[in-house]
Structure formats: C-alpha cells, structure tokens
Structure 1
Amino acid sequence: MSAGTENKDKQLSAVEAELYDRQIRLWGIESQEKLRAANVLLINIRALGSEIAKNILLSGINSLTILDDGMVTQDEQSKNFLLNRDSIGKKIAEEVLLKAQALNPLVKIVADTDSPSSKDQSFYKNFTIIVATSIKSDLLLKIDKTCRANNVQLIFGDVFGTFGYCVADFQEHEYHEDQVQLSGKKRNHEGVEKTTVKVQGTINYPELNKVIILPNRKQNADSIKKMKRRNELFFLMLALIEFRNKHNRNPSDASRKVDLKALQSIKKDIFELYQVDESKSKLSEDIFGIVFGEVVPVCAVLGGIISQEVIKAVSHKEVPINNVFLFDPVTYDGKEETIGA
C-alpha cells in the first residue's frame, strides 16, 4: 500500500464526517481520524464489556473484535443490554453482534468465540489497543508483555458488586491538551483577549507486573511498599483478582459464606505482603459483603470511564489516568492512583 493510499484510508469519508460531527467539534478532526484508524480488541463482553463496547463503537473506531468463549446465562441476559431473551444457551460473542452493529454500522465488528487463553500471543499484537475484563492475572501479564513488545496499548478493569477499578498500561504515552491562556491585554467592550495553546506532555507507565503483585509470586513489591499514601481499595482490587485466580470465577451469592471466608484469608496474605497493619486498616471487615455480582449502574459508570481512557489513549488528546482508577463501593467516588511507577 502506498503512502498516499494509506493516508487516504485514514481520512474520514463525507458520511463519517456527518455522523461524527458533534464529537469532531468536541475533540477535533485529527483525534477523530486517529480513532477512525483504531482496531480495538475487547476481551469478554459481559455487563461491563457491553457498556465499553457501546461507548467505543459510538466514538467511531475502525474495528472491534469481541473475544469471548462464554455462553449466555439467564443472569447474564438480564444484565447485558446487547442480548435478547432468546440468547440464553448461545455463544455470547455472537449474540451481541446484531445490537452492537446497530449502534454504529460504519464500524467493522468481529466475533471470536475462542478462549482468550487458547490464543497464541502473536494474536494480541494485531491491535491498536486491548481492553480486557474478567481474565486471570497470569494471562493478563502475558498479554501485557506482548503489548509492550509490539507497541499495543492495554487497559483492563472489572466490576465486583458496587466496587470497580481499571488499570492502564499505555507505555510511553505522549498526549496534548488545549489550554486557554489570557493575553493580559484588555480589549474594549470584549473583556480580556484569550488564546488557545496546545500543551504537550508524556506519561511513562510501568508494566503491569510492577502493579499487579500478589502473594506467592516471584515479583518484587518494594516499590509499592514504599508508597507513603495508598488507597486501601487497591488491596481490595488485588484480593478480588487473586480470588478469581484461585477459583476461576468471581465471588458468588450461591456460595457467599465460603467465598467471604476465602476473601478474608486472601486479604490477610496481601496485608502481610505489603506490610499493612490490619488493626490500623480502614478497609472495613464488611467491605467484602458488597462485592458480589455486577451491579449494572456501576458497570455503566466504569464502562464510561474505561471508554473515555481508550479514546484518550488512541487520540493522544487530553491527559489519561496514571495509572489506576478505583471506584469506591461505599461513597461512589472515583479515585486515581499512581501505582508501581
């Protein structure tokens, strides 16, 4: 493909320019063209994944590949607006296609019903950015290595009850933002003269094996131990990730008593690793009681946050999170933390 053809392919058509007119006014034609060239992989499209898919499809990306080997259950159908009543018992990646495509007919959507763990690592190098949900940390760290070797951006997140989080690895990420500056000169009848200046910056993200550090792993947690200020919801995030690693599922109401006991045990191991005095911890004993299931409104909030970060990462417009976002399950506030850097 010649350079001229490649540039032409990245340019917006008249139909796209009309469809995306409002967001072009918001973030500019250059950002929209970068989105237009982006190929996104979404790993697992459950309640949270459906919210992410909706938002990034509407943003105007080039293609979305949905990788999910799961089957639709009655519980999943009730939480996922991309599914129909007759979807139960069928492949979820295929069942979401019709409604997903209707959101934006201009985006190419591919359903892949393979297991994410069955994919050769070379599969993951073919995307602009990968958005992962509901996978074990061992696979996540392998994917992150592949992403770093091939300049592919990565963000992952999950919702457990009313708690949610996301973690980004955008590597060495350059961005710009428009800032309004005052000239200092007063103009008659029109106030102070203003100019818009493009300000550039860079954020260096740590690889995920320096952020997701769990007990009994060959990882060095010293950099995180030395942090003077730590949001203890970070430890809640680690406990839930480790629960999935050990049990190959999320905490379930069907086994609530057993799962609560397992979560408390995991929390003790994490506190020991990070040298946290449990008697002084602000992480309530009752916190694990509200991390069961996927609460749909929380999925909508976190899905919006993750999609927003995908748009920032791909367009290089505005400052992205650096590098962990934690959604408080009690106050419903969002907190940004820099971990492992």
Structure 2
Amino acid sequence: MAEISSGSAQYIYVCTRMRVRRSQLIPREDYLRMLNMSLPEITRFIEDTGYKAEIDELATAFSGIDLVEVALSWNLAKEYQNILNITPGNLMRFTASYLRRWDIQNVLTILRGKAQGTSAGKIREVLIPAGALDRVFLDRLLVEDSPDRIVEALKSTRLYPVLEREFPRAVETGSYARLENELYKGYYERLLAETKGEVKGGRVFRNYVQLEIDIRNIQNLFRLRSQRVTEDVRDMMIPGGSFTVDELQRLALIEGRDEFIDAVKKQVSLPSLLNTLEELRGVRPIREAETGLTRVQLEQMDRMSKRYPISITPILAYLEHKKYEVANLRALARGKEANLPSERIQDYLVM
C-alpha cells in the first residue's frame, strides 16, 4: 500500500508519468548494439532517442565527443528540472533534496578542474545544474580565477561550512577525497533528517536513503580493500545506514576476501545483495564490484517503486536510471573516442 495515500490526482499522475518514462529508457540490447558502432554512429543513434533537441541545438557549436558530452549534460539537467516542475507537495520537497547531490558533484568538478588548469569551457561541458545551484550560479563560479575564490563565492550555500573546514587540507594534501566524503556525509545526514517525525511519505524515502548509504559504504569497503588501506576508515564511512561505523571498521580489518564477504553477508538480508556478494568472491576488478552493487541498488529501487506506486520511489527510480543512461552513453562515447576495445567499454556500463 502506498504510504502517500492522499488520493491526489496529481500524485498519481506524476508517479504514473515516471513509470512511463522509465519504460522508455534505452534497453540493454541497444547498449550492446552501440558497442559495435563508431562514435558518429553512436551520435546519430542518440539523436534518434530522447536527445534529439540537444544534439540539434548544439551541433553548430560542437562536434564529436564534445557534442555528445554537452548534449547529455544539458538533457539530464533539463529532465530533472522538468520533473521538479510537475512534482507536488512532499514529493517535490524530497526530490529537490535528493537532487542536491549534484551541487556537490558540480562544485567538486569545478574545484578539481580549476586546480588542474582545465578551461572553464571544458569544465562547463560536464556540469549538471540539477540541484539548488543553477547554471547562472555555476557560471559565476567558473569565472573565478582560483579554487580559493570559488570557495569564498559559496559562502551563502549549505556546502560552505564543510568547504571552509576541509578545503585547506585538500589543498595541502593535493587530494579532494576527504572533502568529497565529508560533503556527502552532510548530504545524507540532511536527507535522513527530513524523513524524521510523521512527515507523510518519509518512511519510504528513509528506507531508500538507508539502502543507498549501505550500498555506498560497501562499495567504499571494496575500494579500500583494493587499495590495501589498513588504517582507521570510520571517517570514510557514511553514518545512518544499517551498519554502524564501528561495524564497518571491523569489516575493513578482515584480511581475506572470502572472510570479508562472509562477514558482510551475515549483516544483510536483501536476496539480490546476498547473491551479488557471493558472485564477487575470488579476484575481481574493483569496477566489477562497484557495478554489481549499483545494479543491486537499482533493482531494489524498482521493487520499492512497485510496492509503493504512489510515493517518492517511482520518481527516485527514474532519476537514478536516467542518470545511469547518461553515464552509459558517456562511457560509450569516451571509450570509442579513446579506441578502447568493446569488452573494456562494456565493463563500465550499468545495464
């Protein structure tokens, strides 16, 4: 039974629209076909799907990989904003909060790009202005002449307290990893805070956010193991999921991969997650582990959207599947531009 049960025709309309849009995304068989296409052929294929308006509009200013990159970014941002415009009540509030993750990604992309001397134009091509920081604000950040000035320009945003605390260390160490992790910890903390109390629809939203935190933490554990990180990892974990940070620390200290997977399996009950963890035994590339766990997240989101058809979950399911469609198309285009073999490109696709 749907947790949001007001009977609002607008709620029903929006959730139905999301399921229709989800069904129109590119299917697995088309990705497999594109693996055998050239970059111009992939561009024409994309133009024949939902990206025609952006391809046509940008074709006079861009070509090749740049055309694909910018068209994908524009399309994703426009689609997310369109969804916000038609979403009512708490559904809109939860969706807007969820999309604030793009503020973190965009700010980090700008900071890293500026630090590496990348031109403002190249940075702009991959920004997704889908959060609270719109394209006009992001363009103002891009004209700043140093990362320090960019941080100062963010004083009025909710990202600033973490940036003020962590940015000097990022500059000193040359790594933005801790800054990025702290920003996401704050993001998830705020998402969970929004679901507390008796807010309508909050329980379903909280369940999904906790699932996402769990998947992200398990992915981080696999990544840290691949990097042979052995120090205290509690600061690298995101609180609020079904694992405490102390439990995650104990898991991180387990040496053998099979023993690690057995220990994780003892603390989860989701069948698809248990099956994926079992498949990850033995020597596997970290990318394979991350992709497999992402598939678990998407599959569980689809199940939740069917169980709660008039709730935030059909919207979240579409947002995430659309995000990975764009990521897949970007991986295909970049792979073809770099003349990578199809088998290697396929490893980066979430299908």
Same topology, TM > 0.5: no
* Greater strand content: 1
TM-score bin, normalised by smaller chain:
under 0.3
Provide the TM-score with structure 1 as the length reference. Answer: 0.27
Q: Which is helix-richer, 1 or 2? A: 2
- Computing the radius of gyration over CA atoms, which structure comes out larger, 1 or 2? 1
| TM-score between both structures, scaled by the size of structure 2 | 0.26
Which structure has more relative contact order (CA 8 Å, sep 6+)? It is 2
